[in-house]
Structure 1
Amino acid sequence: MNTRDRLCTDQPLVATTGPADPKRRDVLRWSLGLSAGLVLPPLAGCDSGDGNSAAATPDTLPEASRIYAQNGLIDIELVGAYGNRNVQFAASAQNTYPGTSRARSAYLRSYNSGILAPTLCLNAGDTLRILLKNRLPGNDAKYSSLSYLNYQNSTNLHFHGMHVDPKEIRPGVYGDYMVDSPDAGVKPGADRQHEITLPTNHSNGIYWYHPHLHGSTTTQVLNGMFGAILVSTPRNDFDLSKDIRERVIFVHRLNLTKEGHSDNLYEYEDDNNSAFVLNGAYQPTIVMRPGEIQNWHFLNSDVFYPFSPVLDDHTLWYYARDGNVFARQYRPINADTVAKIDGRFWPGSVMYPGNRDSMLVQASKTPGTYYLRAAKAPSSTDPEIVARIVVEGSPVEMDLPSPNRLPLYNNYQPITDAELAQNGGKTRAVILAILDKDNPLLVQPIPAGEEWFVPEKDNSGLTNFVFSTGNEGTKLAPFQSALAATQTVALNAVEEWTLYNMNGYPHPFHIHINDCYVIKVNGEDIEPYWCDTIPLAPNGTQNKPTSITFRSRFTDFTGKFVWHCHALDHEDMGMMELVEVLA
């Protein structure tokens, strides 16, 4: 898919139930500097104790080690650096197994020397301390004509989806601090101390951490700088049996030059993406016993493409989105339902970049081979096989937990018309649009000295596009402009925002710190749901934009944070705004 296609400007948890028994497993120290927290290796295949569960087929899905809070604390070092990695690279999406791929040697950024970064397991009320160490090489100050893009090896750290303090909480110690200018992030060779304390009423479920420095986010996430966070709560919102194996599965595409690099934004835009990989592996094998139930948390860590899972001859029992459990119901995902995404179904089970979907899967009682596929979705490539599921071994009798065990409300209760009115009833209309630099929706002429678009001399697929936002009735601008909008909100305010999309691509809107209660698509009521990343309704135009409407409570924390499009090249080019919550 070329850059113009990718821009689409011309087209109308539940968390773990606790650590595994350390008597049965060796406890490891994570190599990047554990100072507090219990580290366990990835789980092996489940064993019922009857000695008959051994599978002939190896399970090849890589899984990260887990670090569990001890005495309410995880305290680790996280080192970002380049490393060599051997990957199977498939240059296109293929709906066949095995797909055609070839071994490639890649030299990429990561948090853990090319190995999956650890999954951090916390309880509501726990504290997470991370000393971020940037050991990437110096920045190339001349690769782009836009100065803010010349910090591809500076970085910072975002705790995606978490309701935590966004400020510098005390001198030299930062919460979910995302308001660095590109030249003021954590520079190569520098360190930054982060500390977040989860509120005692924090929602349980799946979250993740990744870099978020404006201008460098795309390439660092694309390379693999990310890891998962699992949050449990004392309320036991959805307390699954320890016999149900839990898997955390990152889904994304690789992007490599002929030399096996992916060093900057221009390389990403001008090179082809691979097929999807799961936890870095191309078409891995997942082994299950007949009748076995597993709990899968999918995280879409891709920088552009949606992912919509469907498993041949099975139903996936979808129960939570972005860590928010559906109220006492499963939403079935199978060949019949996976395409139902329009109107009140939007976005169905489709995960856009930044989304997390949690689901239970029960293996067929019929041994055999089944395929997990990425189904067709707006702005996706053709359907493709992303994994092989092998059902073999001795059968097990497991009952799917009743959806009545799901909580009626997972921390966040619905925001009613009455609550909105009682808190001022403020509404906002916000526009997201990729526009040509000469578009009259932008200030004309563009202010001298401001970096709104990539000039033609840079020979990039991004040339002359402005990635803009703004309030309805105002001129639009990119984040790096002095004219960019800031959404100023009062602490404890309840507001309703309508987001308008002027492009074919369903820009995934992600807001930090406070979740969204989505109530309308294109002005029509839907069955509301909570999330932190909302794909906007697709196929908008300047004359007829599409829309999503949500409500939010801006509680607990003051300070500055951001919302942005989680198609990360769009964010890096300016589709982002500041939000400031004032007491």
Structure 2
Amino acid sequence: MNTSDRQRAGQPSAAATDPADPKRRNVLRWSLGLSAGLILPPLAGCDSSGGDAQATADTLPEASRIYARKGLIDIDLVAAYASKSVPFAAGAQDAYPGQSRSISADLRSYNGGLLAPTLCLNAGDTLRILLKNRLPGNDAKYSSLSYLNYQNSTNLHFHGLHVDPKEIRPGVYGDYMVDSADAGVKPGADRQHEINLPADHTNGIYWYHPHLHGSTTTQVLNGMFGAILVSTPRNDFDLSGDIRERVIFVHRLNLTDQGRSDNLYEYADNNNSGFVLNGAYQPTIVMRPGEIQNWHFLNSDVFYPFSPVLDEHTLWYYARDGNVFARKYQAINADTVAQTDGRLWPGSVMYPGNRDSMLVQASKTPGTYYLRAAKAPSGMSQEIVARVVVEGAPVEMDLPSPHRLPLYNSHLPITDAELAQNGGKTRAVILAILDKDSPLLVQPIPAGEEWFVPETDNASLANSVFSTGNQGTRLAPFQSALAATQTVALNAVEEWTLYNLNGYPHPFHIHVNDCYVIKVNGEDIEPYWADTIPLPPNGSPEKPTSVTFRTRYTDFTGKFVWHCHALDHEDMGMMELVEVVA
């Protein structure tokens, strides 16, 4: 097997030349069918058998796609409960087929579908969404904490996009995320969003989901999310029309025996399932021998990491959070998938909020292979998440050269000189889950403030404070009047070091402006760009772990947030305001 096609599958050839620049395979759709809100069937619904009758069905669901028309998508997005039959497999199973059962569930969704539409735009386009909240009224009695009693109020975040966070004109909102829990878009209400992508916006994979403090966990867990694909007028990294593109959400379900997850307590106190891909448990992906596909994984789970590896194949990882690497691929295979220690952190592990884009080339040897979620720090056991069947007529395809990956002026390295020339400000910020009596918190806790779940609520979250703050200060949760706000000057360049006081690798996510990560635990690394950064695990108050990044705060003033993308942590208070001022 050492010299088999299986072990060589997908390896780039040193002698390979760049492929020609064929038109994108959806050019005809863009030319003939571009309309505001035009919904087209998934491009992935093609025959992988080479024209012969396909012996194996491809069962990975894919969302419909909505394409811009004359630079605009203008749609309604309706949040409502929908009855669905969902697969539920208790825990991670490294076996195929895993044991699962179908559950009739009542879950919050967008537009009544299992998958919300994928929105396809070019840089410079405009996205208009009228968010309609048709969820039932809020239950004001389930929690002793008043801010948790708005589980059916909502709002809408455009995760990873570099866009205006403000109310851009009366009644029309950008990526507006500073609602209080009792505000937002209440049941029965609407909100108009208008997102104007800059003409120089990077291409790649982004997503949209709710983000109202106190209700985010259950709404995302239920499936209220969808993808955004941004292209550019230059068609950067323009892949051959023969390369099939798949958008794959990965998450777990936490459901009661009655098939519900209506609030934060139910989420925290119920067992979770194995991973599902686009809502399907262990779906089948069909490829032809030698075929190359382009997979965008989005970790929409609210807590667990996802670390993909495909048996006897190499995945050629080229972008994190929509940001391409410096004209090279990173290999993901059985030998590299566990490499997360020290300066390698986090390797190819995706924490909640992360998006990884990669090319996969099927083996020239027909057969069945398994896509697995490898064991990762704070993850569950290794599990099989999909079956990959390689069959049909072979195809000859060459991986595109990584030297074709684009370089963007807005994402050039942030040097020591640039930092110094633009203010040179540094910040040290702490993320920590602490007992309510911890001396690291403001003590005594101010009377009347809701810092922690009381024991009388009989919930597993009782007595823990999910807190943040600047180094050298006492910590507090977001819902406190004492919570920190990070005030930043427009066009400043800053360096932040984030400290983790817990064993869990809190995934730090900041809105609007991406981060240039330069250090892990104080050691220099090969820098990369991201918008969601898991902090190294196994921190403690005595010996915190850390990540250091730099950011350019360009283009937009206004208030937005950073937070832990383990969404129960965010809902409980691990979040801060950022305000960019001119």
Could you tell me which residue of structure 1 aligns to residue 37 of structure 2? 37
Q: Distance in 2 between matches of 1:103 and 1:257?
A: 13
Shift of 1:44: 4.5
Could you tell me which residue of structure 2 aligns to residue 19 of structure 1? 26
Deviations 1:144-175 (A, max 9, x none): 00000000000000000000000000000000
Q: Distance in 1 between matches of 2:60 and 2:210?
A: 24
| Consecutive unaligned residues in structure 2, runs of 5 or more | 1-22
1:101 aligns with 2:108: no
After superposition, the Cα gap between the structure-2 partners of 1:386 and 1:469, relative to the gap in structure 1 and judged at 3 Å, is same
Cα RMSD (Å): 1.6
| Matching of residues 42-441 of structure 1 within 5 Å | 42-47=42-47, 51-52=51-52, 54-409=53-408, 411-441=410-440
Task: Give the secondary structure class of the aligned counterpart of 2:497.
Answer: strand
Q: Distance in 1 between matches of 2:118 and 2:396?
A: 29
| Consecutive unaligned residues in structure 1, runs of 5 or more | 1-15, 29-34
Q: Distance in 2 between matches of 1:506 and 1:441?
A: 19
Could you tell me which residue of structure 1 aligns to residue 467 of structure 2? 468
Shift of 1:234: 1.7
Could you tell me which residue of structure 2 aligns to residue 554 of structure 1? 553
Shift of 1:24: 13
**Alignment check: 8 A CA contact 1:325 1:409 kept:** no
After superposition, the Cα gap between the structure-2 partners of 1:432 and 1:50, relative to the gap in structure 1 and judged at 3 Å, is closer
**Alignment check: 8 A CA contact 1:84 1:114 kept:** no
Could you tell me which residue of structure 2 aligns to residue 443 of structure 1? 442
**Alignment check: 8 A CA contact 2:425 2:493 kept:** yes
Q: Distance in 2 between matches of 1:444 and 1:221?
A: 33
The AA in structure 2 aligned to 1:310 is: V
Q: Distance in 2 between matches of 1:433 and 1:24?
A: 51
Q: Distance in 2 between matches of 1:145 and 1:196?
A: 37
Could you tell me which residue of structure 2 aligns to residue 6 of structure 1? none
Deviations 1:107-140 (A, max 9, x none): 0000021321000000000000000000000000
The AA in structure 2 aligned to 1:148 is: Y
Q: Distance in 1 between matches of 2:458 and 2:284?
A: 41
Task: Give the secondary structure class of the aligned counterpart of 1:273.
Answer: coil
Task: Give the secondary structure class of the aligned counterpart of 1:219.
Answer: helix
Could you tell me which residue of structure 2 aligns to residue 4 of structure 1? none
The AA in structure 2 aligned to 1:128 is: L
**Alignment check: 8 A CA contact 1:19 1:68 kept:** no
Could you tell me which residue of structure 1 aligns to residue 527 of structure 2? 528
The AA in structure 2 aligned to 1:322 is: D
After superposition, the Cα gap between the structure-2 partners of 1:194 and 1:82, relative to the gap in structure 1 and judged at 3 Å, is same
**Alignment check: 8 A CA contact 2:48 2:286 kept:** no
Could you tell me which residue of structure 2 aligns to residue 545 of structure 1? 544
Q: Distance in 2 between matches of 1:407 and 1:130?
A: 29
After superposition, the Cα gap between the structure-2 partners of 1:467 and 1:49, relative to the gap in structure 1 and judged at 3 Å, is closer
**Alignment check: 8 A CA contact 2:374 2:383 kept:** yes
Shift of 1:48: 8.1
Q: Distance in 1 between matches of 2:54 and 2:551?
A: 48
**Alignment check: 8 A CA contact 2:310 2:370 kept:** yes
Q: Distance in 1 between matches of 2:572 and 2:108?
A: 21
Task: Give the secondary structure class of the aligned counterpart of 2:424.
Answer: coil
The AA in structure 1 aligned to 2:39 is: V
Q: Distance in 2 between matches of 1:350 and 1:357?
A: 9
Shift of 1:40: 1.0
The AA in structure 2 aligned to 1:386 is: V
Task: Give the secondary structure class of the aligned counterpart of 1:419.
Answer: helix
**Alignment check: 8 A CA contact 1:251 1:301 kept:** yes
The AA in structure 2 aligned to 1:392 is: E
Shift of 1:18: 6.6
Q: Distance in 2 between matches of 1:407 and 1:278?
A: 29
Q: Distance in 1 between matches of 2:264 and 2:106?
A: 16
Deviations 1:401-442 (A, max 9, x none): 111111244741010000000011100000000000000001
Task: Give the secondary structure class of the aligned counterpart of 1:291.
Answer: coil
State, as a whole percentage, how many aligned pairs show the same letter.
85
Q: Distance in 1 between matches of 2:47 and 2:252?
A: 33
Shift of 1:237: 2.0
Deviations 1:457-513 (A, max 9, x none): 000000000000000000100000000000000000000000000000000000000
After superposition, the Cα gap between the structure-2 partners of 1:24 and 1:312, relative to the gap in structure 1 and judged at 3 Å, is farther
| Matching of residues 497-516 of structure 1 within 5 Å | 497-516=496-515
The AA in structure 1 aligned to 2:238 is: D
**Alignment check: 8 A CA contact 1:433 1:503 kept:** yes
Q: Distance in 1 between matches of 2:364 and 2:262?
A: 46
**Alignment check: 8 A CA contact 2:202 2:408 kept:** no
**Alignment check: 8 A CA contact 2:495 2:551 kept:** yes
The AA in structure 2 aligned to 1:520 is: K
Could you tell me which residue of structure 2 aligns to residue 5 of structure 1? none
Q: Distance in 1 between matches of 2:232 and 2:29?
A: 21
Deviations 1:53-112 (A, max 9, x none): x32100000000000111000000000000101011001100000000011101000002
Q: Distance in 2 between matches of 1:229 and 1:256?
A: 27
The AA in structure 2 aligned to 1:312 is: D
After superposition, the Cα gap between the structure-2 partners of 1:420 and 1:410, relative to the gap in structure 1 and judged at 3 Å, is closer
Q: Distance in 1 between matches of 2:48 and 2:579?
A: 52
Could you tell me which residue of structure 1 aligns to residue 4 of structure 2? none
Task: Give the secondary structure class of the aligned counterpart of 1:145.
Answer: coil
Q: Distance in 1 between matches of 2:50 and 2:98?
A: 36
Task: Give the secondary structure class of the aligned counterpart of 2:258.
Answer: coil
Q: TM-score, normalised by structure 1?
A: 0.94
Q: Distance in 1 between matches of 2:249 and 2:498?
A: 28
Q: Distance in 1 between matches of 2:295 and 2:107?
A: 27
Q: Distance in 2 between matches of 1:23 and 1:466?
A: 50
The AA in structure 1 aligned to 2:535 is: L
**Alignment check: 8 A CA contact 1:297 1:357 kept:** yes
**Alignment check: 8 A CA contact 1:294 1:360 kept:** yes
Q: Distance in 2 between matches of 1:313 and 1:48?
A: 20
**Alignment check: 8 A CA contact 2:25 2:242 kept:** no
Task: Give the secondary structure class of the aligned counterpart of 1:266.
Answer: helix
Task: Give the secondary structure class of the aligned counterpart of 2:275.
Answer: strand
Q: Distance in 2 between matches of 1:520 and 1:49?
A: 46
Q: Distance in 2 between matches of 1:425 and 1:206?
A: 31
Shift of 1:23: 11
The AA in structure 1 aligned to 2:103 is: R
Q: Distance in 1 between matches of 2:195 and 2:465?
A: 35
Q: Distance in 2 between matches of 1:445 and 1:405?
A: 57
